[in-house]
Amino acid sequence: MPRPIHATVHTDALHHNLNRARAAAPDARVWAVVKADAYGHGIARAFEGLRGADGFALLDLAEAQVLRDLGWRGPILLLEGVFEQRDLELCSRLDLWHAVHCEQQIDMLSQHKTNVPQRVFLKMNSGMNRLGFAPHSYRSAWTRLNALPQVDEISHMAHFSDADGPKGIAQQMAVFQQHTQDLPGERSLSNSAAILRHAQGAEVRADWVRAGISLYGSAPDHPEHDAAHWGLLPAMTLASRLIATQTLAAGDSVGYGSSFVAPGPMRVGVVACGYADGYPRLCPTGTPILVDGVRTRTLGRVSMDMLCVDLTPLQQAGIPAGFGSEVTLWGRASKGAVLSIDEVAHAAGTLGYELMCALAARVTTRVG
Ligand SMILES: *Cc1c(COP(=O)(O)O)cnc(C)c1O
């Protein structure tokens, strides 16, 4: 028998979460952002749940190929654009739209031999200072692109640095508006946080929104709001089983470094899941976890292949947890209980994004 750990990607949850993005931005078309192999869910596995999107946005040309192989004929956008000249040939072959964020990409386009002009998304650096043309050079980049026979329609895009926090989007919006308002073309600005928190603002006039993390059921602004607040469902469950139980006396410790010491007699379950499966080693004692659908906590350090849980709440609940009991590291338990990946991430001092992307290759993943 294989190790009992496995992940499940929930088609119904992806579908539901996509509809949440649509409801929040009813006038926009929705890019489903599926970079990083659909945030660790697997593009091929996530595709069924997300095929109602208007397009797919990603970074890697190989991932774009996967989508075409799956039969997707609609728009695909390369969010970082091309990396070298010959990528443009693949863009032509696979009919990919691509971001243009720097002069070098315009140079490459000007040398691309094609009879079919390409659709591009010109990117403005509106304050994030990662990719994009500075506001004062945006117009000249647009003019240069617009003169190229290789270029078809030019859309405008920018990316918010603070849509999830108190600083918000107003300043970046103003910069973007000021430098694009008299240019023709479609616009794309919002990530999940902007879609959910700022979509009602009339100033975010957007033809396309770019939903990523919310599609996967994680709140973009956790812990200010949780996934339930935004009506999102977890798209990934990581589940395993107890493979041993131990009975501790007062003073007994658990795991490497003896970091947890039992204050009194207690039962402990040993879970077949560790950091080599993608569960964060940084999760301290007290990280929430479900055993047989009952919420309890981890104990001691997470090791490579195992972690330990407190079975006390199960006894109180009258559930005789023992060998083989179902453990939900995050996602849905079979009895309907839910543990958000955001809570586990928070305990580890990180975000749901990082956990879902770090699911290890050794974890068998299915769709269900
Ligand atoms: C990843 C990404 C998104 C999606 O962001 P989320 O916070 O996951 O919604 C949107 N736009 C760009 C340019 C991105 O790189």
- Supply the pLDDT for residue 325: 98
CA distances from 108 to 20, 81, 99, 147 (A): 38, 11, 13, 14
Q: Is residue 191 in contact with ligand 1, taking CB distance under 6 Å?
A: yes
Catalytic residue flag (residue 256): yes
Are 15 and 52 in contact by the 8 Å Cβ rule? The answer is yes
Per residue in 55-95, pLDDT (tens digit) is: 999 999 999 999 999 999 999 999 999 999 999 999 999 99
Per residue in 312-356, pLDDT (tens digit) is: 999 999 999 999 999 999 999 998 999 999 999 999 999 999 999
Residue 202 has pLDDT above 60, yes or no: no
- Supply the pLDDT for residue 71: 98
Task: Specify the residue for token string 């949440």.
Answer: 20
- Supply the pLDDT for residue 1: 78
Are 343 and 288 in contact by the 8 Å Cβ rule? The answer is yes
- Supply the pLDDT for residue 204: 63
The SS3 assignment for 316 reads: helix
Residue percentage of the chain with pLDDT more than 90: 97
- Supply the pLDDT for residue 137: 98
Across 227-313, the runs of DSSP E, i.e. the strands, are 236-248, 253-254, 260-261, 266-271, 288-291, 294-299, 307-310
Buried b or exposed e, range 320-348, using 16+ CB within 10 angstroms = ebeeebbbbbbbbbeeeebbbbbbbbbbb
Among 138, 167, 256, 279, which one carries the catalytic annotation? 256
Instruction: Kindly report the pTM of this predicted structure.
Output: 0.97
The full set of domains in the chain, from first to last, is: 11-216 (3.20.20.10), 236-367 (2.40.37.10)
Alpha-carbon distance of 208 to 29, in angstroms, equals 5
Q: Is the dihedral of CA 18, 44, 221, 165 positive or negative?
A: negative
Residue 203: pLDDT band with limits 50, 70, 90: low
- Supply the pLDDT for residue 360: 98
- Supply the pLDDT for residue 200: 64
126 C-alpha to ligand 1 centroid (Å): 15
Q: Is residue 352 in contact with ligand 1, taking CB distance under 6 Å?
A: no
What burial class does residue 257 get, using C-beta atoms within 10 Å of its C-beta: 0-12 exposed, 13-18 middle, 19+ buried? exposed
Mean pLDDT of 24-39: 96
163 C-alpha to ligand 1 centroid (Å): 11
Are 328 and 238 in contact by the 8 Å Cβ rule? The answer is yes
296 C-alpha to ligand 1 centroid (Å): 33
Q: Whose C-alpha lies nearest to ligand 1, atom 4?
A: 212
Q: Give the chain's length.
A: 368
Mean pLDDT of 273-297: 98
Pairing of strands 118-123, 97-100: parallel
The SS3 assignment for 238 reads: strand
- Supply the pLDDT for residue 335: 87
**What are the φ/ψ torsions at residue 312 (nearest 5 degrees)?**
-55, -50
Residue to mutate, 20, 31, 33, ligand 1, most ligand atoms under 8 Å from C-beta: 33
Residue percentage of the chain with pLDDT more than 70: 98
Mean pLDDT score across all residues of the chain: 96
User: Which residues partner with 8 through β-bridges?
Assistant: 237, 366
Alpha-carbon distance of 111 to 94, in angstroms, equals 19
Catalytic residue flag (residue 35): yes
Residue 201 has pLDDT above 70, yes or no: no
